[in-house]
Structure 1
Amino acid sequence: MKTDDLIRALAADTRPERPLWGRLMLGLLPSLAVAVAVVWAGLGFRADLATALVTPVSAARIVLTGALGIVAMRLALLLARPEGWGRARFWPLAVVGGVALGLLVWAFVTIPPEGRQMAVVGKTMTTCLVMIPLMAILPVTSILYALRHGATTVPALAGAVAGLAGGGMAAAIYALHCTEDSPLFYVTWYGLAILGVTLVASLAGARLLRW
C-alpha cells in the first residue's frame, strides 16, 4: 500500500461517527411522518380539531403524550451512554405522570356518577388500544436503532424508555383523530396502550442493546 493510501485509510478510520441525536432524527422524523399520514389517510383528523386544540381538557391529550415522548426520548439518548445511568433524572417523567393522574382524579370528581362508566369506556376504546401500538412500531424501532450505536449499561431500561418515547409520540398523533375528550378515557386507555408498547420495547432492548 502506498503512503498516501495508508494515510487516507487511517483518516477514514478516525472519522467521527454521526452523533446519536443525528442518527435518531434520521429515522424518527420519517417514522412520525408515516404515523401522521396513517391518521390522516386511514382514520381522518377529527372535524373539530381546531377547536379541540384550544380547549384545555382536550388539548391536554396531545400536550401530555407529546411531553412524555420528548422527555423519554432525551432520557433514552442519555441512557445510551455508559455513564448515562448515573446522570439520568427521572423526575420529568414523574411530573408528566402526576399531571395525568391529577386530570384523572379531577374528571372522576367532576363527572356525575351515572356518567363515569361511559366516560371511561367511550366509543373507541378498541381502536385506541390497537392503533397506538401499531403507530408506535416505527418510532420505537428508530429509537432502538439509534441506541444500538451507543453503549448502554441498562439495556432493558433503555428499551423501556424508548417504548415510552415512541408510544407517547404515537399517542399524540393518534389524538389528532380521537374525539374522546374525557381524561377518564384518554388517561386510562392511552396509558395502557403506551404501557404495552413500553413492556415490549423493554424486552426488545434487553436483547438488542446488550453489549
Structure 2
Amino acid sequence: MNTDDLIRALAADTSRKHAPRTTLLLGMIPSLSIAVLAVWLVLGFRADLLAAMTTPVSVPRLVLTGLLGIVASRLVLRLARPEGEQSARFWPLGCIGIVALGLLVWAFLTTPPDAVQMAVVGKTMTTCLIAIPLLSVLPVATLHHVLRNGAPTAPLRAGFVAGLAGSGFAAAVYALYCIEDSPLFYVTWYGLAIMGVTAVSTAIGARSFRW
C-alpha cells in the first residue's frame, strides 16, 4: 500500500474504534477467564494451590509467566502504533529469560544427580506441552486483533511479542493446575511450549500485519 492509498483508506474509514489498550482489556479479560475456567473444569486446580503460591521454589512459575505476559503485552500496545518500533524496549524480556535460566541452573546444581531426570521429565510433561498451546489460542488471537486494528510497522516483532504475551498468560493459568514444583520441569517445558506458540504467532504476524 502506497502513501496515497493509505490516506484514502484513512479518510474513508469513519468508524470509531476503541483505543488499543481498551481493545486489549475487552478481549483479554474474557479470554483469560475462559482459560481459567477450562483448567478448572478439565484439569482441576492443584489441591495445595494456596501453599504452592507461597513456596519459594514454586511461586516463580506464576510470577515469571505472568510478568512475561504483562511485559510482552505492553510491547504489543507499543508496536501497534506506527512509531512504536523506535521506542520499543525488549531488554525486560531478556531479564525474565535470564532469571528463568538462573533458576534452571540453580535447580540443576542443587538437585541430587539421581533425581535430575525425574525432576525434568516429571509426571505431566505431555499435558503441559498440549495444554499451554491450547490455552494460548484466545489470548494470542486477542493480541493479534489488537495489532490488526493498529498500524504495526514491524510485523515480525509484533507477531513475536503477541505470541510471548499470550502464551505467557496461558502458562500462568496452567500453573494453577501444574503439580511440578522444580524449575527443571517448568522452565524447560513451559519454555518449550511458549517458544512453540511464539514461533507460530511470529510466522502468522509476519504475513497478517504486513501493510
Q: TM-score, normalised by structure 2?
A: 0.92
Kindly provide the CA deviation profile for residues 158-203 of structure 1, in whole angstroms up to 9, marking residues without a partner as x.
Answer: 0110000000000000000000000000000000000000000001
2:50 is the alignment partner of 1:50 = yes
Q: What SS does structure 2 have at the residue aligned with 1:58?
A: coil
Q: How do 1:145-156 residues align onto structure 2 when only pairs under 5 Å count?
A: 145-156=145-156
Q: Which runs of 5+ in 2 are unaligned?
A: 1-12
Task: Give the Cα separation in 2 of the matches to 1:35 and 1:56.
Answer: 25
2 CA distance for matches of 1:167 and 1:103?
20
Aligned length: 199
Which residues of structure 1 form unaligned runs of 5+?
Answer: 1-12
Structure 1 ranges of 4+ moved more than 4 A = 13-16
Give the alignment of 1:195-206 within 5 angstroms.
Answer: 195-206=195-206
Q: Whole-Å Cα distance in 2 between the matches of residues 35 and 90 of structure 1?
A: 27
Structure 1 SS opposite 2:59:
helix
Query: Secondary structure at the residue paired with 2:163?
Result: helix
Q: Superposition pairs for residues 157-172 of structure 1, below 5 Å?
A: 157-172=157-172
Following superposition, the deviation at residue 26 of structure 1 comes to 1.1
Alignment partner, residue 35 of structure 1: 35
Counterpart residue type for residue 111 of structure 1: T
Report how far residue 18 of structure 1 moved.
1.2
* Distance in 1 of aligned mates of 2:48 and 2:119: 19
One-letter code of the match for 1:70? Answer: I
Displacement of 1:15 in angstroms is 7.1
What does residue range 121-200 of structure 1 map to in structure 2 within 5 Å? 121-200=121-200
Q: For 1:28, what is the secondary structure of its paired residue?
A: helix
**2-structure distance, mates of 1:193, 1:17:** 33
What is the alpha-carbon distance in structure 1 between the residues aligned to residue 170 and residue 57 of structure 2?
A: 19
How high is the TM-score relative to the length of structure 1?
Answer: 0.92
1:113-151 Cα deviation digits (max 9, x unpaired): 111010001010000000000000000000100110111
1:54-73 equivalence runs, <5 A: 54-73=54-73
Identity of aligned residues (%): 64
Over residues 99-121 of structure 1, what are the superposed CA-to-partner deviations in whole Å (9 max), with x where a residue is unaligned? 10110010000001111010001
CA distance in 2 between partners of 1:18 and 1:121 (Å): 45
Secondary structure at the aligned position of 1:82 is classed as coil
Report the residue type matching 1:131 in the other structure.
A
RMSD after superposition: 1.1
Measured after TM superposition, the shift of residue 24 of structure 1 is: 1.1
Distance 1:58 1:50 in 2: 11
Q: In structure 2, how many angstroms separate the alpha carbons of the residues matched to 1:210 and 1:142?
A: 18
Instruction: Give the match's secondary structure for 2:18.
Output: coil
